[in-house]
Amino acid sequence: LPVVLYDNAVSGNCYKVRLLFALLGIEYERRPLSVVEKSNREEVLGELNPGLRVPTVVLEDGRPLGESGAILWYFADGSERVPVDRYDRAKVLQWMFFEQYSHEPYIAVARNWLMHDLAPSQEALAEKQRLGYVALDALERGLGDGRDFLVDGYSIADIALYAYTHVAEQGGFDLAGYPRIRAWVERVAAHPGHIPIDA
Ligand SMILES: N[C@@H](CCC(=O)N[C@@H](CS)C(=O)NCC(=O)O)C(=O)O
């Protein structure tokens, strides 16, 4: 059986998984779920992911796995996209936890609100954007010292952060003041096997 991906085409969290699968040449079956009309979530994902979120995968042997970061780690560990060195592995996790706590909740949510006209108020959107810029400042600092990627070589830390950063404009963010981020976005996109979010 192929790997199954419960997926959404505009979701950056799902794109992380599709991008990794493309880079690793992993074949999978894509099962789209809406991120707006969510009434069937429990029925479809209830047995698979207690969070009822996409991405959720079902492995070849039937075991389910949720959370984009966990899915990236499961498939990439042992490949070039996860370092071998213990400290570097922890640095990859440092960036992935940063993405989930300090980046995605602002940049992805601002984008989602703007794309689907969901912003509860202008003030709420402005606050998401303020905190999103704090995350972009951190990412810009993290790409200092002439480093090409966040850790040692192109890793799943880059995939996790790239997913929403490269479409941050859709959340109302201007990357003009972030030259290292812009160069890194181009570097990731130039990697052999790269696919766009809307592939
Ligand atoms: N921390 C989760 C977040 C997943 C997530 O927020 N998925 C969204 C789509 S991007 C979703 O399923 N939203 C529907 C909902 O909130 O019920 C991950 O990284 O996989």
**pLDDT tens digits, residue range 153-192?**
999 999 999 999 999 999 999 999 999 999 999 999 999 9
Write out the two tokens for 112.
């989602």
Instruction: Name the nearest CA neighbour of 181 among 141, 125, 121.
Output: 141
pLDDT at residue 92 above 90? Answer: yes
Residue 106 alpha carbon to ligand 1 centre in Å:
13
Ligand 1 atom 2, closest CA: 67
Q: Among the atoms of ligand 1, which is closest to the Cα of residue 41?
A: 17
- Stated pTM of the model: 0.97
DSSP 35: S
On whether the CB atoms of residues 199 and 193 are closer than 8 A, the answer is no
- Ligand 1 residue neighbourhood (C-beta within 6 Å): 8, 11, 13, 35, 38, 41, 52-55, 67-69, 100
Q: Please, which pLDDT band fits residue 126 given cuts at 50, 70 and 90?
A: very high
Residue 97: pLDDT band (50, 70, 90) is very high
What number is the average pLDDT over the span 6-33? Answer: 98
Instruction: With beta carbons less than 8 A apart as the criterion, state whether 55 and 11 touch.
Output: yes
What share of the chain has pLDDT > 70, as a percent? 100
Residue 51 backbone phi and psi in degrees, to 5: -75, -15
Mean pLDDT, rounded, for 94-113: 98
Confidence at residue 9, expressed as pLDDT on a 0 to 100 scale: 96
**pLDDT above 90 for 1:** no
- Please give the DSSP secondary-structure letter assigned to residue 120: S
**In whole angstroms, what is the distance from residue 41 CA to residue 54 CA?**
9
Percentage, residues of the chain above pLDDT 90: 97
Select from 137, 42, 59 the least CA-distant residue to 98: 137
**3 state DSSP class of 46:** coil
Q: What is the mean pLDDT of the chain?
A: 97
The CA-based dihedral angle spanning residues 159, 163, 168, 169, taken in that order and rounded to the nearest 10 degrees? 110
What does the pLDDT read at residue 167? 98
pLDDT tens readout for residues 33-83: 998 888 999 999 999 999 999 999 999 999 999 999 999 999 999 999 999
Q: Tell how far the Cα of 54 is from the centroid of ligand 1, in angstroms.
A: 5
